Amino acid sequence: MTGSGDGRGGATTRATGHPAAGTATRPGDYVWGLVRLLIGWVFLWAFLDKLFGWGFGTPADRAWIRGASPTTGYLKGTARKPLGAVFSPLAGHAWADWLFMIGLLGVGLALMLGVAMRLTAVLGGLLLLLMWAAELPPEHNPFVDYRLVYLFVIAGLALTDAGDTLGIGRWWGNTALVRHHPWLK
């Protein structure tokens, strides 16, 4: 069955809202697919560097696999910020470390693959919002920093089905699991 359109000049299937087979992909779709991959790599790289301590943002002796806490440096650094009393005490707790690392890995993989974009936008947006709030005010601007920009870009990627181009989003959206649980789209 074919619906009215996908906003990209092509027909959509009524059941999934995804472009119908054979629908042309516009050049802009590739740009947004690349943006999704790039932001996914930012999250995935942060996870890998904190896990293994490859020396880019995390020195080898501060790697999570060597027993260091991936949240301590960042959250302890927020102590003098306006919300430092909220965020600084969370530093180094195992539950905070696990949630942070699972968040980085999950958001990174989902963006790289182009799956669960709605859920990724919500959870990744929450992670970014919390990191932004912990840093208030940002170092180089009284309000806006890259975390807010990423938050809105990820939301836009989810709203435009950016996982369908250069990703497996279209396939994912047509699985029985996602058809039964559309919030996983």
Number of structural domains (the chain) is 1
Which of the pair, 20 or 102, is modelled with greater confidence?
A: 102
Mean pLDDT of 22-42: 89
Residue 106 reports pLDDT greater than 90: yes
Mean pLDDT of 142-163: 95
> What is the pLDDT, as a whole number, of residue 23?
62
Flag whether 80 is in a domain. yes
Mean pLDDT of 133-139: 91
> To the nearest whole percent, how much of the chain has pLDDT over 70?
87
Flag whether 20 is in a domain. no
Tokens of 98: 């696990």
Flag whether 145 is in a domain. yes
Flag whether 159 is in a domain. yes
Mean pLDDT of 73-102: 94
> What is the pLDDT, as a whole number, of residue 5?
46
> What is the pLDDT, as a whole number, of residue 4?
41
Find out whether 18 and 12 touch, Cβ atoms under 8 Å.
yes
Tokens of 136: 């208030």
Could you tell me the residue range of the domain that residue 87 belongs to?
Answer: 38-184
Flag whether 55 is in a domain. yes
> What is the pLDDT, as a whole number, of residue 15?
44
Residue 64 reports pLDDT greater than 80: yes
Flag whether 30 is in a domain. no
Mean pLDDT of 82-101: 96
Flag whether 115 is in a domain. yes
Question: Each residue of 152-176: b (16+ CB within 10 Å) or e?
Answer: ebbbebbebbbbbbbbebbebbeee
Residue 24 reports pLDDT greater than 80: no
Mean pLDDT of 135-148: 92
Average pLDDT over the chain, rounded to an integer = 89
Find out whether 62 and 73 touch, Cβ atoms under 8 Å.
yes
What's the angle, vertex CA 94, arms to CA 70 and CA 53, rounded to 5? 25
Find out whether 15 and 133 touch, Cβ atoms under 8 Å.
no
